[in-house]
Amino acid sequence: MMIPEVTVAAVLLVGFLAALFVHDWTTRARNRRLLYVQLAVFVAGGLLILFPEIARRLAHLVGIGRGVDFVIYPTVIWLVRESLLSRRRRREEEERLTELVRAIAIERAQTVSRALR
């Protein structure tokens, strides 16, 4: 039987997760399905925080030294990928906006000088 490790950091982090969830639950009540997914992720996160032994054992099982690293490595990989994807999306959006703005400009272009009209 594992015993929860209630440190100051654990209390603050779990409190933060709970506050975030309450906030989203009250302000984004429309998309319930997303909120349930979020709840599952948060509960898993909370368990990992309160019972570091879970991550520690899983880490040792796959040959990683610390439990924290077991959580951080995949998170970093996911964040980097996410940041690259969003940069690419932004660039694609920009290209679309450019073509739209250009089409409007070309459509409305006019000869403004008096000569050679």
Partner 1 sequence: MRIAILMPAYDEGERLSETLRDLEAQAAGGGHRITVFVVDDGSVPPIESAVVSNTDGVALRVVLARHPVNLGQGAAIETARRLALDPRWDDAFDAYVTMDSDGQHRAEDAVAVATAIVGGADVALGDRFAGESDVPASRRLLLRLARVFERWTTGLVLSDAHNGLRAFGRRAIVQMRLRQNRMAHATELTRRISMASREKPLRLVEVPVSVRYTKATLAKGQTAGGAVAILVDLFQGFLFGEPR
User: Which two three-digit tokens encode residue 55?
Assistant: 């991550």
94 contacts partner 1 (rule: CB under 8 A):
yes
Q: Which is nearer to partner 1, 82 or 95 (CB)?
A: 95
Taking the C-alpha atoms of residue 84 and residue 78, their distance in angstroms, rounded to an integer, is: 10
104 contacts partner 1 (rule: CB under 8 A):
yes
Q: Which helix (H) or strand (E) holds 54?
A: helix 52-62
112 contacts partner 1 (rule: CB under 8 A):
yes
> Which has the closest alpha carbon to 52: 40, 63, 68, 37?
68
CA torsion sign for 50, 56, 59, 65 is positive
98 contacts partner 1 (rule: CB under 8 A):
yes
User: Which two three-digit tokens encode residue 113?
Assistant: 């000088």
Site mask for partner 1 (CB under 8 A), range 73-92, x = bound: -----------x--xx--xx
Q: Which is nearer to partner 1, 6 or 100 (CB)?
A: 100
Point out which residues bind partner 1 (CB under 8 A). 84, 87-88, 91-92, 94-95, 97-98, 101-102, 104-106, 108-117
